[in-house]
């Protein structure tokens, strides 16, 4: 999937513009190290020979890299002016050769200019705070500029940033902040951006360039520096060796955001959310290293280490002032399981008259797999399919009538896990077809007899469901095994393999990083592909995502849709006859469901504003819009009072939650890291606990299916299932 370039790029993409920055905040001039030049050469050789769409390093590729590089650095055209682009155009045909010739002068020159321009823009933004703004003028601000031309002059750029800073100020003003507080908040915000830029390293510039190189070939080929590769491995195996604490940077402190259940930090009882780590030492008596003001990833690297070794933390407690007494905490590093990211199950009940239908929901955020443990032959290695199989056994004991696999926002993962997960619901047979660069097609199959669940099922997807999620959903749909509910998926129909460049170079220590490289295209067993088109749901639910801006079709260099011969498979059922009935029941229900109608109303309003792409900088106009939005939400409260069951407690709770929603939706003008940690955690919990209208409707649709199948209605929806196989 598309990666965020760096924490730097993320920070800059949310900001504001050209005076000269203060001397202490000038970004360093970055220069490549020899290992980076060698890694670039090796990566270019591998890509030109073994990529699915093997691309020669020529002028055409160099120009694509150049365009991709500028797009990744300055996607909203907020930093470079046209004169900069003209100046840099001399590098347009040199960025491919830069890798092959191990001469990274050109990409680093581009990055250094970008850093300088960004520092100038933030420096200018700070000067604007001394002047204030007139909010009675009739001005507008365009909040999305990725399709706009580069500003022609510095004057144009300053005007763009004046409006951007003005909008930042107005947002805080509308949230109730006074001018003094607003200046303090924004000055600190822009200063923090400048400070972060001074901590940028050559590795950041190199990874930005290499990802521009790889993504110029295809959208899903990426370069991962050694540290990024480690994070990718952690996300796949759902475990790491450390203390079990999630950190965030708050006011230049490495702050404990939350503790991982069962980790050394939580078990010690000595740390809590909000504590600040100001020093790290390796072992008892080790030298304490001051990490105040460090990049967060550097601090994390110091805290992590080999299992069963000691790390000593110098901690400033959450409620203590900067000059208060610190405390030293010694912890033994252990393997920490990231259970929050693992598959989870819940049971939802649908009461219909005298009958109750129970639907088991399994939420899967990624198709994870501990590759290393599996390769070593470990019997208990962690994987998505194994966890889901275990959860299915639990749901059967709960006597659920149907199962829903929630793959919303699941960007994929292991291809093997997509196949194994499909095998839990079908009795042997092909799952997906792959076509390699040589044009040969292979069929990946589920080879295990029996199924873990043979009852009714469905898959819930959205635009962010991609890759392995699409393989699974497509197979379930092609077999007629279950319903597909939601929004059309991402449309990624390619397979990537991770290439360890250090293994290629036979390095004993990691220094070159890894390539996640496209090596094949996958096809459905019916011969079609999810490429560009994604998986089309059987029953569609509304989505707030802009399909034109997000998904495979939004990439300029995505592979085209194509088709091959269907695999030899036997459908497990046929749900086509059920669909008209289920669609009618769904349509009737959502017309009466106020929550669903309100959601649709909010989505439509968001689409209108996104298309308009303009916001007023007139305070009176903005307050009118804010009042209209709040009135629209508050007008929804009265219907909650008329609870069908006459349950006043429930009605009161619903009404209160709607009021809370109105408050929560009010823009406070702040960015992550600017709110109190407790406030951010409480808001996250509120979002997590909020009613999931789309999930509820998907559950209702499955309940309809169970009811229709029980009553018959003259429909033969599926064939006899194979006996249940209990998986380890």
Residues with Cβ within 8 Å of 446's Cβ and at least 6 positions away in sequence, in order, are 419, 420, 422, 423, 426, 428, 429, 430, 431
Residue in this structure with the two tokens 């950190």, named with its chain if needed:
247
44: tokens are 């270019």
Cα 592 off chain centre by: 33
What is the separation of C-alpha 347 from the centre of its chain, rounded to a whole number of angstroms?
Answer: 26
Q: Is the distance from CB of 209 to CB of 69 less than 8 angstroms?
A: yes
Q: Which of 478, 502, 538, 704 is catalytic?
A: 478
Dihedral sign, CA of 395, 396, 397, 399? positive
Active site residue 467: yes
Q: Is 396 a catalytic residue?
A: no
d(CA 674, CA 182): 12
Out of 64, 163, 177, 492, pick the active-site residue: 492
Tokens of 139: 């001005």
Dihedral of CA atoms 314, 320, 321, 326 in degrees, nearest 10, equals -30
CA distances for 194 relative to 8, 189, 255, 694, angstroms: 10, 9, 20, 41
Quick count: other Cβ atoms within 10 Å of Cβ 397? 8
Q: How many CB atoms neighbour CB 548 within 10 A?
A: 8
* Catalytic hit among 467, 469, 488, 489: 467
Separation between Cα atoms, residue 97 and residue 89, nearest integer Å: 15
Where b means 16+ CB within 10 Å and e means fewer, 192-207 reads bbbebbebbbbbbbbb
Spatial distance between the Cα atoms of 286 and 291, rounded to a whole number of angstroms: 15
Could you tell me where the beta strands, DSSP code E, fall in 50-172?
140-141
Token readout for 570 is 């036997």
CA dist., res. 443 & res. 431, Å (int) = 8
Beta bridge partners of 41: none
- Show which residues are catalytic: 467, 478, 492
């Amino acid at each position: 999937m598309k990666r965020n370039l760096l924490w730097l790029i993320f920070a800059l993409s949310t900001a504001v513009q050209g005076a000269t920055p203060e001397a202490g905040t000038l970004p360093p001039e970055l220069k490549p190290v020899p290992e980076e030049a060698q890694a670039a050469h090796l990566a270019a050789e591998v890509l030109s020979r073994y990529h699915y769409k093997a691309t020669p390093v020529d002028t055409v590729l160099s120009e694509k890299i150049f365009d991709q590089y500028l797009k990744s650095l300055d996607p909203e055209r907020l930093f470079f002016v046209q004169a900069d682009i003209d100046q840099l155009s001399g590098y347009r045909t040199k960025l491919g050769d830069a890798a092959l010739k191990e001469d990274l002068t050109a990409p680093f020159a581009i990055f250094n200019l970008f850093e300088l321009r960004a520092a100038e823009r933030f420096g200018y933004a700070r000067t604007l705070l001394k002047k204030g703004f007139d909010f009675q003028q009739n001005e507008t601000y365009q909040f999305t500029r990725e399709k706009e031309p580069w500003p022609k002059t510095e004057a144009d750029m300053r005007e763009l940033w004046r409006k951007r800073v003005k909008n930042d100020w107005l947002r805080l003003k509308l949230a109730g902040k006074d001018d003094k507080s607003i200046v303090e908040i924004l000055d600190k915000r822009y200063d923090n951006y400048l400070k972060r830029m001074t901590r940028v390293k050559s590795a950041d510039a190199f990874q930005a360039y290499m990802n521009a190189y790889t993504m110029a070939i295809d959208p899903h080929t990426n370069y991962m520096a050694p540290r990024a590769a480690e994070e990718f491995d952690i996300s796949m195996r759902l475990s790491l060796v450390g203390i079990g604490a999630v950190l965030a940077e708050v006011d230049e402190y490495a702050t404990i955001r939350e503790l991982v259940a069962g980790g050394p930090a939580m078990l010690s009882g000595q740390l809590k959310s909000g504590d600040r780590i100001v020093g790290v030492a390796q072992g008892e008596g080790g030298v304490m290293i001051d990490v105040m003001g460090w990049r967060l990833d550097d601090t994390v690297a110091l805290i992590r280490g080999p299992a069963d070794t000691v790390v000593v933390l110098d901690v400033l407690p959450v409620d203590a002032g900067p000059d208060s007494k610190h405390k030293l905490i010694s912890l033994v590093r252990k393997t920490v399981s990231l259970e929050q990211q693992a598959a989870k199950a819940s049971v939802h009940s649908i009461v219909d008259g005298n009958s109750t239908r129970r639907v088991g929901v399994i939420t899967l955020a990624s198709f994870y797999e501990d590759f290393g443990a599996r390769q070593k032959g470990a019997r208990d290695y962690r994987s998505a399919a194994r966890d889901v199989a275990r959860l299915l056994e639990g749901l059967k004991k709960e006597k659920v009538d149907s199962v829903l696999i929630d793959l919303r926002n699941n960007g994929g993962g292991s291809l093997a896990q997509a196949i194994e997960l499909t095998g839990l619901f079908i009795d042997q047979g092909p799952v997906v077809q792959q076509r390699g660069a040589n044009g040969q097609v292979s069929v990946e199959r589920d080879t295990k007899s029996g199924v873990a669940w043979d009852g009714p099922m469905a898959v819930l997807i959205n635009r962010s469901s991609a890759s392995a999620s699409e393989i699974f959903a497509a197979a379930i749909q092609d077999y007629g095994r279950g319903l597909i509910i939601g929004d059309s998926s991402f449309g990624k129909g390619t397979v990537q393999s991770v290439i360890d460049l250090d293994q290629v170079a036979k390095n004993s220590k990691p220094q070159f990083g890894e390539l996640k490289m496209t090596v094949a295209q996958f096809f459905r067993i019916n011969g079609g592909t999810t490429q560009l088109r994604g998986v089309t749901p059987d029953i569609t639910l509304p989505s707030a995502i802009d399909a034109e801006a997000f998904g495979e079709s939004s990439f300029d260099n995505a592979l085209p849709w194509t088709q091959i011969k269907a695999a030899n498979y036997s459908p497990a059922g046929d749900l086509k006859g059920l669909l008209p009935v289920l669609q009618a029941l769904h349509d009737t229900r959502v017309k009466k469901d106020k929550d669903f109608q309100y959601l649709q109303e909010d989505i439509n309003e968001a689409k209108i504003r996104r298309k308009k792409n303009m916001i007023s900088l007139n305070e009176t106009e903005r307050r009118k819009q804010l009042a209209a939005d709040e009135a629209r939400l508050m007008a929804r409260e009265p219907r909650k009072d008329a609870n069908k069951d006459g349950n006043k407690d429930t009605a009161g709770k619903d009404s209160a939650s709607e009021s809370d929603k109105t408050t929560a939706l009010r823009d406070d003008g702040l960015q992550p890291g600017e709110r109190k940690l407790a406030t951010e955690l409480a808001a996250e919990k509120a979002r997590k606990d909020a009613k999931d209208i789309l999930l509820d409707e998907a559950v209702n649709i499955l309940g309809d299916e169970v009811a229709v199948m029980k009553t018959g209605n003259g429909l033969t929806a599926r064939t006899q299932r194979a006996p249940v196989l209990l998986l380890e």
